[in-house]
Amino acid sequence: MPDQPAACALPQDLPQDLPPPPPARRVARVQVRDGTVSSGERSVPEEVPVALTFNGTTHAVMMASPTDIADFALGFALTEGIVASAAEILSREVIVVEEGIEARMWIAEEKMKHLSARRRALAGPTGCGLCGVESLVEAVKPAALVDAAGLFSPAAVLDAMAALGPLQSLNHETRAVHAAAYFEPGRGVLALAEDVGRHNALDKLVGKAAEAGFDTSRGLLLLTSRVSIEMVQKAAVLGVGVIAAVSAPTSLAIRTAAAAGITLCAIVRADGFEVFTHPGRIALIPSERQDHVA
């Protein structure tokens, strides 16, 4: 086996001065409503392949909205554990090519050796049972332990979600993208990211928060999607103590949030929400408390 994985970065001589694609496009459509047929246009979100490369080697290609790609790259590197801080990325650039977008990052050679070794361990030859086991372990690895001591009123959770809606400009235009946002009581929504993929939106938010240097233990993570284990794992990297989501969590997400010390609020509506883990960060009156919640 070679010492380094085969490089599959985009050729270096491709055009590098192309404008980024727009986040949404107008397309023709035929509408059928109440028995009436009409022609017209609708705005739909753009979706492009984004290659995330480290030291000239492509690590992953994600389908994403063509916005905030530099933040996406940083957030991805952090949530994947490739780097521990933004300072560990020596350089970062976004290149638009005909085939999509390449986010080029350069990291210290020691970090790259570790990344290459991890890729080799998870790839392996076809039919090697151990490789599958290692891949499964990697997929369900525990989230980082979060130690955030904030206390939030139920009204603060509801106010946070109410503030998110008006700021989702791309979703207002297309009705087809997810959002992730960081909110602090008294300060409002401090950072927001939108993407066709819920994981991508959260990675972009992680990148934005890292660039801004927020003390995320003071606020809430807002999600417009369901909460899966990957979202909890990424939230733990962000360092927030509370997740507030519009949709419901999976059972594995609940177990992961409980183990990570994260308060998981979901099914947030105008009239209330449900708390699945660590309710101590929500200032509930005694009659509202559920002692059996982790």
Active site residues: 128
| C-beta separation of 233 from 256 below 8 A | yes
Q: Position of tokens 């246009």?
A: 41
d(Cα 185, Cα 146) in Å, to the nearest integer? 19
Element (H, E) at 114: helix 109-123
SS3 helix, strand, coil % of the chain, rounded to 5?
A: 35, 30, 35
d(Cα 245, Cα 251) in Å, to the nearest integer? 15
Please choose, from the candidates 120, 105, 118, 2, the residue with its C-alpha nearest in 3D space to the C-alpha of residue 57: 105
DSSP 16: -
Q: Identify any residues that bridge with 52 across adjacent strands, giving them in sequence order.
A: 60, 103
DSSP 277: E
Q: Is the dihedral of CA 224, 227, 228, 229 positive or negative?
A: positive
d(Cα 46, Cα 63) in Å, to the nearest integer? 10
Residues composing the chain: 294
